[in-house]
């Protein structure tokens, strides 16, 4: 799957819906045993959740948007397929969550590309299931420090922390992703799938059990004037940085 929503592959309601439907179709296709996720937008894997979806909208819209974010994660993290992220650009916040939800992460070895859960820098808090996914990849201590600081890690540091599994030159990224996919597909599906479920079930079940409460929390949080102000200021900062 190649993300192609310029300029930055931000995860809008429309993008998330299309991504989830795409994953569902592949999941139901018995001929498809694995998926490599990458980007067709130069230098950006995904800029994370579309901030405009969280600014100045109705309570109903926030609820619909958050359900779509949850749905995407439940499908990807809970997928029976082998999932490989070929991270060919920067990948903050929700973009990082997509990579973290895959079975294996390969990143282009460009120190200008960074990845991490930087929510704290926006004045918002990564939800518990973003945090759980992060902890399952890098461990509690690294996740705690990185989350509190809202760190975006340049590719070499991300590899040192275990946030990505390996770095390769950008031109070799897809070749390497295909080789990794072949290695994982060489195992019998049932054994690999049951093992994956065993490793991920508790974290998936936690969101499933608290899904409606999580939506309510998101709506309450994002509707606060202080949070709206932080998000507006962050968007202004992005625009100013450009000019």
Ligand X SMILES: CCCCC/C=C\C/C=C\C/C=C/C(=O)SCCNC(=O)CCNC(=O)[C@H](O)C(C)(C)COP(=O)(O)OP(=O)(O)OC[C@H]1O[C@@H](n2cnc3c(N)ncnc32)[C@H](O)[C@@H]1OP(=O)(O)O
Tracing tokens 């749905």 back to the chain, one arrives at 71
Residues 6+ apart with CB under 8 A from 136: 199, 200, 203
- Is 118 a residue of the active site? yes
49 binds ligand X per the rule CB under 6 A: yes
Candidates 42-50, 75-83, 189-197, 198-206; binding stretch for ligand X (CB under 6 A): 42-50
Residue 132 beta carbon to ligand X: minimum distance, rounded to whole angstroms: 13
The arrangement of strands across the sheet holding 82-87 comes to 2-3, 34-39, 82-87, 104-108, 166-168
User: Which residues in the 139-198 window bind ligand X by CB under 6 A?
Assistant: none
Candidate list 34, 78, 116, 127; residue touching ligand X; CB under 6 A = 127
Contacts of 125 (CB under 8 A, 6+ apart): 119, 221
Least distance (Å) between residue 148 CB and ligand X: 14
Q: Does 48 bind ligand X (CB under 6 A)?
A: yes
Q: Which two tokens stand for residue 193?
A: 């799938």
Instruction: Tell me the closest approach of the beta carbon of residue 1 to ligand X, in angstroms.
Output: 19
Element (H, E) at 48: none
Q: Which is nearer to ligand X, 47 or 159 (CB)?
A: 47
* Number of residues in the chain: 243
Q: To the nearest 10°, the Cα dihedral for 11, 12, 13, 14? A: -100
Binding residue (CB under 6 A) for ligand X from 47, 70, 79, 88 = 47
Residue among 13, 36, 72, 124 that touches ligand X (CB under 6 A): 124
Record the tokens describing residue 25, joined without a space.
Answer: 């179709």
Catalytic residue flag (residue 9):
no
Q: Least Å distance between CB 97 and ligand X?
A: 7
Q: Where are the alpha helices (DSSP H) in 101-210?
A: 128-138, 140-149, 155-161, 173-185, 189-209
| Given 119, 122, 147, 231, the catalytic residue | 119
Catalytic residue from among 94, 95, 116, 150: 94
Cα–Cα distance for residue pair 147/141, rounded to 1 Å: 10
Among 118, 133, 146, 159, binds ligand X (CB under 6 A): 118
Per CB under 6 A, contacts with ligand X among 51-90 are 51-52, 90
The residue within the footprint of ligand X, chosen from 141, 190, 239, 240 (CB under 6 A), is 239
Are the C-beta atoms of 89 and 39 separated by less than 8 Å?
yes
The beta-strand segments (E) located in 57-159 are 82-87, 89-92, 104-108, 114-116, 153-154
Residue 119 a catalytic site member? yes
Q: Which residues bind ligand X (CB under 6 A)?
A: 7-8, 10, 44, 47-52, 90, 92-94, 118-119, 122, 124-125, 127, 217-218, 221-222, 235, 238-239, 242
Annotated catalytic sites, by residue?
49, 94, 118-119
């Amino acid at each position: 799957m190649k993300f192609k929503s310029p300029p930055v592959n931000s995860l809008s309601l429309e993008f998330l819906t299309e991504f989830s439907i795409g994953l569902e179709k592949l999941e139901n296709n018995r001929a498809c045993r694995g998926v490599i996720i990458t980007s067709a937008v130069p230098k950006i894997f995904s800029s994370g959740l579309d901030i405009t979806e969280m600014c100045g909208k109705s309570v109903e819209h926030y609820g619909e948007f958050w359900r779509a974010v949850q749905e995407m994660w439940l499908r990807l993290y809970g997928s029976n397929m082998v999932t490989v992220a070929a991270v060919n650009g920067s990948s903050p916040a929700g973009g990082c969550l997509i990579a973290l939800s895959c079975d294996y992460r390969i990143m282009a070895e460009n120190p200008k590309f960074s990845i991490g859960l930087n929510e704290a820098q926006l004045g918002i808090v990564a939800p518990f299931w973003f945090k759980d996914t992060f902890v399952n990849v890098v461990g509690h201590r690294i996740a705690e420090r990185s989350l509190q600081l809202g760190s975006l890690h340049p590719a070499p540091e991300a590899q040192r922390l275990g946030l990505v599994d390996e770095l390769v030159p950008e031109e070799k990224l897809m070749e390497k992703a295909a080789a990794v996919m072949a290695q994982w597909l060489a195992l019998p599906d049932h054994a690999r799938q049951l093992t994956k479920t065993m490793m991920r079930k508790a974290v998936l079940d936690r969101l499933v059990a608290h899904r409606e409460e999580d939506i309510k929390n998101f709506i309450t949080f994002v509707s606060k004037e202080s949070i709206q102000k932080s998000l507006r200021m962050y968007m202004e900062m992005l625009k100013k940085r450009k000019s």
